[in-house]
Amino acid sequence: MTGILLVSHSKQLAEGLAQLLHGVAGEDLLIETVGGMKTLGVDATMVLEGIDDLTDLGCTTILIFGDLGSAFLAAETARDLMQGSVDIRVVDAPFVEGSLAACMVLSMGSSAEEAITAAEEAYQIRKR
- Please identify which of the residues 2, 4, 5, 9 carries the catalytic annotation: 9
Per residue in 33-53, pLDDT tens?
A: 999 877 899 999 999 999 999
2-8 and 61-66 strand pairing: parallel
Question: In this predicted structure, what is the pLDDT of residue 90?
Answer: 98
CA distance 81 to 102: 25
| Residues of the chain predicted below pLDDT 70 | none
Residue 53: what pLDDT?
97
pLDDT computed for residue 48 by the predictor: 96
Identify which of 94, 90, 87 has the alpha carbon closest to the alpha carbon of residue 64: 90
- Residue 9 catalytic? yes
pLDDT score at 36 = 86
Superfamily the domain 2-124 falls into: Phosphotransferase system, mannose-type IIA component (3.40.50.510)
